[in-house]
Amino acid sequence: MYYRLKKEMPKHEFGDVLYLNEEKGIYDWVEPPNYPLFKTIVESDEQNFFESFTIDIKENDKIYYLDVCGEIVESNFKNFNHLKLFLNDRIFKSLEMCEKAQEKINNLYKDIYDSSNDNDNDR
């Protein structure tokens, strides 16, 4: 289960996300600062600070994403490592979907490059 912050808290803003660290039995923040919150604080939510949400990818499911160089990476989903990518719609469940995204990005770069060269030739 994941929780999204509905109100500002010390050191965290609206929309920041917690995930359950199964090994420790506490909730950790996806973004620093990473001070833990106990399950009883998060799940009881007497102050209405959190809203729960689920994702359709489970721990260790095979995922694909593009690294900073635009190369396809195949991995197994890990909460802490990949949740931020998921929340930014950058994880793909199939290689084909990731390849399509890569192609779109490459075409965009090509269009920008071609446009830049056209402008240089006009001078």
Distance of alpha carbon 31 from alpha carbon 24, whole angstroms: 18
Q: Which domain holds residue 22?
A: 2-53
pTM over 0.75: no
Same domain, 75 and 43: no
Distance of alpha carbon 13 from alpha carbon 83, whole angstroms: 17
Same domain, 36 and 85: no
Q: What is the mean pLDDT of the chain?
A: 89
60 conformational bin, left if phi > 0, alpha if psi -120 to 50, beta if neither: left
Number of domains present in the structure of the chain: 2
Same domain, 49 and 70: no
Same domain, 48 and 78: no
Same domain, 113 and 66: yes
Same domain, 88 and 112: yes
Q: What is residue 120's predicted lDDT score, i.e. its pLDDT?
A: 66
Q: Are 93 and 57 in contact (CB under 8 A)?
A: yes
Same domain, 21 and 48: yes
Domain boundary among 31, 53, 75: 53
Per residue in 55-108, pLDDT (tens digit) is 889 889 999 999 988 899 999 998 878 988 998 889 999 999 999 999 999 999
Same domain, 78 and 107: yes
